Amino acid sequence: MSWYSSIFPPNLFQSYLIAAARGLMLAIPVALLFELGGWLARTYLLRRLTSVYGRDANRDPTARARRRRQLRDYTVGFARLVQNTAALLVILMLWKVDPVAIALVLVALALILREPLTDAVAGWSLLVDDALAPGDQVALPGGQAGVVAELGPRRAKLVDADGTVVWVRNSELGSLRQRPALAPPEGA
């Protein structure tokens, strides 16, 4: 008898393999079902976005293409996040993981990711409303003014008249004043 078999009974590995196979047999159909549902939901959402695309008709073609690509990518990303979270919850419940533990993990994740998710949703909202784009001149409530150089998923890059770069979170951009559009500053 080897040291390995004295620590682990011979049928332990086999029982783990059987349990893993049973778990996969439950998880694979659920994952496929959620993938099909996610594909249908994404197709529906992208079709609904076509009415939003017309809001940027007064922008130059490059800015329009960038905005539409960002809007499509952010929407698909949010949809996939929701879909994969729901699929993972269902699979964990099928594997008989304690629902209280799942709820505690979700609450902890929500607390940790509150600000990034708030900024991401605000960035998506700015894109949907076509409220802000590179080249727009804005004034922040603190008295700072600048030209939008970039609009990302979580923050916007503003460049003032002196060339100073200021990064502003998207959730803070709801209270700014917008001025007539100017060309983006050089070097931005």
Is the pLDDT at 181 greater than 60? The verdict is no
Highest mean pLDDT pick, 13-22, 33-42, 168-177: 33-42
pLDDT computed for residue 143 by the predictor: 76
Q: Can you list the alpha helix ranges (DSSP code H) found in the chain?
A: 3-7, 10-53, 61-94, 99-112, 114-129
- In the CATH scheme, what is the code of domain 137-179? 2.30.30
pLDDT at position 62: 85
| 157, 165 contact by CB (below 8 A) | yes
pLDDT of residue 107: 92
Q: What is the pLDDT of residues 81-104, one digit of tens each?
A: 888 888 888 888 888 888 888 889
Would you say 55 and 129 are in contact if contact means Cβ atoms under 8 Å apart? yes
Band the pLDDT of 138: cuts 50, 70, 90.
Answer: confident
Q: How far is CA 77 from CA 9, 70, 146, 184, in A?
A: 46, 10, 30, 28
Mean pLDDT of 110-133: 88
Q: What is the pLDDT of residue 47?
A: 92
Closest to 87 in 3D by CA, of 39, 44, 27 = 27
User: Sorting pLDDT into bands at 50, 70 and 90, what band is 9?
Assistant: low
The per-residue pLDDT for range 24-47, each reduced to its tens digit, is 888 888 889 989 998 999 999 999
SS3 of residue 169 by DSSP: strand
* pTM listed for this prediction: 0.68
With beta carbons less than 8 A apart as the criterion, state whether 135 and 125 touch.
Answer: no
Query: pLDDT tier at 176 (50, 70, 90 boundaries)?
Result: low
In the predicted model, is pLDDT for residue 6 greater than 60? yes
Across residues 131-152, what is the average pLDDT?
A: 84
Q: Looking at the chain, which residues constitute the CATH 2.30.30 domain(s)?
A: 137-179
Per-residue confidence (pLDDT) for residue 180, from 0 to 100: 55
Higher pLDDT, 182 or 93: 93
